[in-house]
Chain A
Amino acid sequence: GQNIDQPTEMTATEGAIVQINCTYQTSGFNGLFWYQQHAGEAPTFLSYNVLDGLEEKGRFSSFLSRSKGYSYLLLKELQMKDSASYLCVTITGGGNKLTFGTGTQLKVEL
């Protein structure tokens, strides 16, 4: 089966850096997404990793280690609007089967 673990909640300070970790156990792994979801809204795409290493996109970076079943999302220069749930999502089954983690609720404080 598929299993994804990520912290339930995290709190960080505006302007700081925060790292949200995700570990997974899955068969037929084909990549990993990170999504952001504000309360009451749709998930929105942040990043996609298929090879080992770091993908950087503005203030957000995502890292993947396939051998360790591990990913993290790094958010720099935190802003209040970054308060949201961050979903770790594995991709299997030829690219169309997604398994969602339960999300990490990030609270950014002044």
Chain B
Amino acid sequence: LAKTTQPISMDSYEGQEVNITCSHNNIATNDYITWYQQFPSQGPRFIIQGYKTKVTNEVASLFIPADRKSSTLSLPRVSLSDTAVYYCLVGETGGFKTIFGAGTRLFVKA
């Protein structure tokens, strides 16, 4: 399973766009890139998933370059409620083993 590297923490202000980059140099051909969000005292929650190029949903965008060795989660106009830990995962969907890294703690300030 590909190992992921993310910044430990990031600070932002309300209304700003936040980009969190994840490195996964050893990503395999069948691996997808998935991001989860975890609020304090709650379980992780799926945000977005992609294989290549760009994926967008109502919550975030995911940018994946052609070599797929990294990915960037983009949160448009964050609010205080976006303060959470964001995990980048790389693995084959349909597999039964999921590895969560340390995640990135995002602090959104007023």
Are A and B bound to each other?
A: no
